[in-house]
Structure 1
Amino acid sequence: MPKNRQKAKSKSPNPSTRNNKSNSRSQQDMKEAPGDSMAVSSSLNTLHVNPSTPITSRPQSRMPYENGEEDLELNLLHEDERREARRGAEELNFDSTGDVEKRPISSKDKRAMVLLCVLYLIQGVPLGLALGSVPFLLKDHLSYSQLATFALSSYPYSLKLLWSPIVDSVFLPSIGRRKSWIIPMQLVVGTLMLYISLNVQRLMDNPGSYVYELTFIFTSLVFISATQDIAVDGWALTLLSHENLSYASTCQTIGLNTGYFASFTVFLALNSVEFTEKWGIPHLTLSAYLKFWSIVCYLVTFWLLFFKKEDKEPATEADMSIMGVYKTIWSICKLKHIQSLVIMHIFAKLGFAANDAASSLKMVEKGFKREDLALAVLIDFPFQIFGGYLAANWSRGNYPLRPWVIAFWPRLGFALISTLIVYWFPTPPISQGFFMFLIVHTVFSSFSSTVQFVGISAFHTRVSDPLIGGTYMTLLNTFTNLGGTWPKWFILKGVDAFSVATCKGNKAGTEISVQASECVSDIGKSMCRDIGGECVTETDGYYLVSAACLAFGVAFLILYIIPTARKLQELPASVWRVRLS
């Protein structure tokens, strides 16, 4: 980094058009703004200066704002960097309402978006297995409590903040700040999937005996994918131009959803013997599927290593300090508006947590075929992609959180409908009309979920300090993911805990009745049949848990989310910056 820095005091009431004083050196390179012959056309709030990569603490970079005035520090860049800064400032034109003028996406940004989609795709494949298809395959053999244990494998993706400073701070300059992590992580992902493919028969034939081994293996897989995600999130901030940063969340939506649905929807359909025989297509085993994606991981990693060059980034001793990044995280967490945002994220998804964790499992339990469920989600896939594109555009205005907040109402409504569907689920085989109703419900429900995902990701991208982008983005995304992950264990445990079922049967002409919690699971029902009985569910804990979640979701939305979101999106970009020492 250049050692010389230039200070300027902002006097303009509009944070996006602050005037920055300039010394003699910068006057020669910066364009004069109207009304002030010594002003640059944009401040650091809107100016994208390369390198704007996630960097740890920088002792000279302070952005205090006291008594309504904000002190900004502008680097004295090298000649090429100043030219890039000037070009970035000229491209950020504002209309009368203060919105950034939307320009066509450049070919460079398009190539970057394709790369990001591929990298996020590799993340989505193991997530689709751990969160989607494998729990469905295990449902016939495990209770909800055992499924709750396996659900712990998804937690690393929501706790990646704990090791993100290491990813941000340690790297090999000869390889690149992001490639230093992406390459080895993808190699490990490919190797783990290859290992599972070679042992899948032993693990899946009797999963009740290997539930902890399965949990450990998939936890490791998700942990490595989460580490790769930290590096990819940071790289997205430099691969895309400033005015197209909102499309980073679109790339994430497309890539993650494609990988997730390939491992969930497509795999479940092709893994079903009935589905493949009906349509005359080859049957796909879990072992073959894992081997295929391990080869894909190896090929993409090979291409990154030898054919994709990452732009070099200047590094200082501060950049290499892991403790510096942890201090930065603490500095961010001490911001009052960040604390409000964290509280909102932690509890925002609790309203539809029961629907996300248990509704599909309950429908399968009531006779809905896994391949039919997969087909419904497959039809929904293109709508998810289209929804991600629309949400990215909706989130580019002055109120980026508005689509996210509005989408809460339909998402809560569809969660209620899901609960009613489970309650009134017809005896199989289901009619074609009911199946079409399920498809329409799935499409609209997932569309509202996609709008929320892209909307909040776009907001995070907008407010993240570019000097510490990877750390900032990971912090915000961590709490978003954690809000959807932490309730899952409690939801599945609660379904078993609040359920009351009895195994009733006749033995030697005498009617017997045995109450057992395991009677609510498929394995428990099988044990009941073995003794000549039949499970009778008197109270299903799913409905109690779902009702409690929905009631909390509505109350929290009205009392906290809506007023807090309004305040947060009205804050200027400058207040999201941190004072680094």
Structure 2
Amino acid sequence: MSTTSPADPPRRRKKNNKSKRNTPATSDDDAMSRHNPRGTSTSLESIAIQPRTPKTPLTSHRVNGWTPGDGDATDEVEMSLLGEEERRQAADGLSIEEEQEYLSQGEKRPMSTKDKRALGLLIVLYLIQGFPLGLALGSLPFLLREHLSYSQLAIFSLASYPYSLKLLWSPIVDSLFFPSIGRRKSWIIPMQLIIGTLMFAISLNAEEFMNNPSEHIYSLSAAWTALVTLSATQDIAVDGWALTLLSQENLPYASTCQTIGLNTGYFASFTVFLALNSESFSQRWGIPRLYLGTYMQFCAVMSFAVTIWLLFVKEDKETEGEDLSIKSVYGTMWNICKLKHVQVLCLLHLFAKIGWAASDAATQLKMVEKGLGREDLAIAVLIDFPFQMFAGWVAGRWSRGDKPLRPWMIAFWPRLLLALAATLTVYWFPTPPISIGFFTLLIVQTVLGSFAGTVQFGGISAFHTRIADPVVGGTYMTLLATFTNLGGTWPRYFVLKGVDMFTIATCQIKEQGLTVKAAECVSDHGKAACTELGGECVTERDGYYIVSAICLVLGMVSVIFHMIPTARKLQAVPPAKWRVS
């Protein structure tokens, strides 16, 4: 490995040190987001894919307090029809506003073959990420629920944390590489090889792990934590490569590639796999059942195949002066964190999702426990997907203007009401088989919850884009995205632990007149063990409703007295107050 020379991250520095652009070093997703299945209680809901901060043209008039010639900034305008000098001559005599508008105009050139290939490459690379993430954050919690208690599921839920914490090691990925291989391929190739190897190794004993997960809970958690960490590291490198793979005018398509690739892989591992893995689904349609080991071997082969293909893809060498140093990036992050308004916003993010934390973490697990088929859940998620796309478009239009946090604040109320409705749905869940009318109600709740979540995400993303210092936009956006993701990730462990802690369940053996308090009665495996003893599990108090009530009350109080008042104050803060320097 080689370290690069210091630079001011995440912007690119040219030899003459005059022209500076806002070039993000990495971009969080953070996944799994906005177009992620928020209606499903998977922890991918907390992984949001943040929009990249575009490179900002610097025009010939004063911008944010500096003018051309004031040190390290100079004129830099994107042109498409005329040359730079010709366009400036044509703009002579116009006002500053008219000149800026004129210079920003030009013919929209067709996408080059190089960019089209780059888009295909990015989609495939993001697809590889989606395979392990869809399993770790989507399918496995539902499969493990049949054998584990909620406390044990809480341990497995820790596997989702690395994707929300990748900012901590992203400067290392940006700074260390083999020049002979390429800055990004130096990380992507080994990460994908290790991901494929690890998934193949797990697949050899997948059925044993899934049949007796309680005996292997720590091994399972460690293995999937490693997979998510590797996927997060690959994501950092792919995000950075996207900034140089695509031309300037097509750079916004990078987030589109991330959405398409990541969500396709995620849905294949979650929605499609859950349906094909269901025994009742395979019997109904007369198709072979897809086992976890077989699917993981398929994912491993895909990872190896893409890695071999990547060996023949040439990575353009970075120009001189574009190197980043680890120390400078961490220094920039620290300077951002010292800003008072950033500290308030990050604290707001950490507790913004507490109101529906129980609903996201445990509601659909409870529904499956009460008889909802996994294939029915997969259908609900599949129906929800196009509505998420529409919600993203609505959120984008609604977040325009000087009040981008307005949809974020308004969406608090439907999300809290839907969390309450989900709790009541679990309470009144009918005995299977489920009627078409009740299943339709579940789909409506899923769609509405996802729609509200996507609208809220659009508002907060627009606000991040507005306040991020363009000089350090990539680091700024990634930092804010990290706290946004953590707000949905950290409560999950405590919610699942709380469900077991507040639950009182007993195994009543009627023939012998015994009543035994058994914590394992909260899992399907424990209930089956009680049945084998001639008893019956009776839940005297379900901790899910207590945890859900606590979250709803905390959410309601915080929204009224803290979230909305604080958001209004932050929204009124001038953009200059958010600048690092």
TM-score (norm 1): 0.79
Once the 2 structures are TM-superposed, how far is the Cα of residue 234 of structure 1 from its aligned partner?
3.4
Q: Is it true that 1:482 corresponds to 2:491 in the alignment?
A: no
CA separation in 1, counterparts of 2:233 and 2:310?
17
Aligned with 2:390 (options 383, 386, 408): 386
Instruction: From the superposition, tell whether residues 223 and 533 of structure 1 become closer, same or farther in structure 2 (CA, over 3 Å).
Output: same
Higher relative contact order, structure no. (Cα contacts within 8 Å, ≥ 6 residues apart): 2
- Give the aligned CA root-mean-square deviation in angstroms: 3.9
Once the 2 structures are TM-superposed, how far is the Cα of residue 96 of structure 1 from its aligned partner?
13
Is the 8 Å Cα contact of residues 270 and 378 (structure 2) preserved in structure 1?
A: yes
Aligned with 2:533 (options 531, 534, 539): 531
Aligned with 2:240 (options 229, 234, 237): 234
Q: Aligned residue for 1:279?
A: 285
- Amino acid corresponding to residue 300 of structure 1 in structure 2: V
CA separation in 2, counterparts of 1:71 and 1:175?
39
Q: Aligned residue for 1:309?
A: 315
CA separation in 1, counterparts of 2:284 and 2:563?
47
Secondary structure of the structure 1 residue equivalent to 2:312: helix
Once the 2 structures are TM-superposed, how far is the Cα of residue 565 of structure 1 from its aligned partner?
3.3
CA separation in 2, counterparts of 1:197 and 1:131?
17
Once the 2 structures are TM-superposed, how far is the Cα of residue 575 of structure 1 from its aligned partner?
4.2
Once the 2 structures are TM-superposed, how far is the Cα of residue 497 of structure 1 from its aligned partner?
0.3
1:289-324 per-residue CA deviation (whole Å, 9 max, x = no partner) reads 1122222223333344423534624336xx443222
Q: Is it true that 1:261 corresponds to 2:263 in the alignment?
A: no
Aligned with 1:407 (options 401, 411, 417): 411
Range with bigger deviation, 459-468 or 190-199: 459-468
Q: Aligned residue for 2:195?
A: 189
Q: Aligned residue for 2:543?
A: 541
Q: Aligned residue for 1:33?
A: none
- Amino acid corresponding to residue 554 of structure 1 in structure 2: M
Is the 8 Å Cα contact of residues 172 and 326 (structure 2) preserved in structure 1?
A: yes
Once the 2 structures are TM-superposed, how far is the Cα of residue 344 of structure 1 from its aligned partner?
1.4
Q: How many residues align?
A: 521
Is the 8 Å Cα contact of residues 246 and 392 (structure 1) preserved in structure 2?
A: no
Instruction: From the superposition, tell whether residues 342 and 422 of structure 1 become closer, same or farther in structure 2 (CA, over 3 Å).
Output: same
Is the 8 Å Cα contact of residues 505 and 540 (structure 2) preserved in structure 1?
A: yes
Is the 8 Å Cα contact of residues 357 and 488 (structure 1) preserved in structure 2?
A: yes
CA separation in 2, counterparts of 1:97 and 1:403?
30
Instruction: From the superposition, tell whether residues 401 and 314 of structure 1 become closer, same or farther in structure 2 (CA, over 3 Å).
Output: farther
- Amino acid corresponding to residue 337 of structure 1 in structure 2: H
1:521-553 per-residue CA deviation (whole Å, 9 max, x = no partner) reads 222222322322211111111011111111222
- Amino acid corresponding to residue 47 of structure 1 in structure 2: T
Is the 8 Å Cα contact of residues 15 and 321 (structure 2) preserved in structure 1?
A: no
Instruction: From the superposition, tell whether residues 46 and 95 of structure 1 become closer, same or farther in structure 2 (CA, over 3 Å).
Output: farther
Is the 8 Å Cα contact of residues 237 and 466 (structure 1) preserved in structure 2?
A: no
CA separation in 1, counterparts of 2:251 and 2:450?
23
CA separation in 2, counterparts of 1:363 and 1:190?
33
CA separation in 1, counterparts of 2:110 and 2:436?
46
Range with bigger deviation, 550-559 or 418-427: 550-559
Is the 8 Å Cα contact of residues 411 and 445 (structure 1) preserved in structure 2?
A: yes
Q: Is it true that 1:74 corresponds to 2:73 in the alignment?
A: yes
Instruction: From the superposition, tell whether residues 492 and 408 of structure 1 become closer, same or farther in structure 2 (CA, over 3 Å).
Output: same
1:178-577 correspondence to structure 2 within 5 Å: 178-237=184-243, 249-307=255-313, 309-310=315-316, 312-315=318-321, 319-395=323-399, 397-461=401-465, 463-465=467-469, 467-508=471-512, 511-571=513-573, 573-577=575-579
Instruction: From the superposition, tell whether residues 167 and 564 of structure 1 become closer, same or farther in structure 2 (CA, over 3 Å).
Output: farther
Instruction: From the superposition, tell whether residues 246 and 321 of structure 1 become closer, same or farther in structure 2 (CA, over 3 Å).
Output: closer
Q: Which structure 2 residue ranges, 5 or more long, are not aligned?
A: 1-12, 21-52
Is the 8 Å Cα contact of residues 14 and 320 (structure 2) preserved in structure 1?
A: no
Once the 2 structures are TM-superposed, how far is the Cα of residue 211 of structure 1 from its aligned partner?
0.7
Instruction: From the superposition, tell whether residues 315 and 563 of structure 1 become closer, same or farther in structure 2 (CA, over 3 Å).
Output: farther
1:125-140 correspondence to structure 2 within 5 Å: 125-140=131-146
Instruction: From the superposition, tell whether residues 209 and 5 of structure 1 become closer, same or farther in structure 2 (CA, over 3 Å).
Output: closer
Secondary structure of the structure 2 residue equivalent to 1:307: coil
Is the 8 Å Cα contact of residues 197 and 287 (structure 1) preserved in structure 2?
A: yes
Q: Which structure 1 residue ranges, 5 or more long, are not aligned?
A: 9-43, 50-62
Give the % identical residues. Answer: 62
- Amino acid corresponding to residue 357 of structure 1 in structure 2: A
CA separation in 2, counterparts of 1:246 and 1:557?
33
Is the 8 Å Cα contact of residues 145 and 493 (structure 1) preserved in structure 2?
A: yes
Once the 2 structures are TM-superposed, how far is the Cα of residue 354 of structure 1 from its aligned partner?
0.6
Instruction: From the superposition, tell whether residues 175 and 386 of structure 1 become closer, same or farther in structure 2 (CA, over 3 Å).
Output: farther
- Amino acid corresponding to residue 446 of structure 2 in structure 1: T
Instruction: From the superposition, tell whether residues 2 and 501 of structure 1 become closer, same or farther in structure 2 (CA, over 3 Å).
Output: closer
- Amino acid corresponding to residue 171 of structure 1 in structure 2: F
- Amino acid corresponding to residue 444 of structure 1 in structure 2: L
Is the 8 Å Cα contact of residues 246 and 396 (structure 1) preserved in structure 2?
A: no
TM-score (norm 2): 0.79
Once the 2 structures are TM-superposed, how far is the Cα of residue 144 of structure 1 from its aligned partner?
0.8
Once the 2 structures are TM-superposed, how far is the Cα of residue 400 of structure 1 from its aligned partner?
3.4
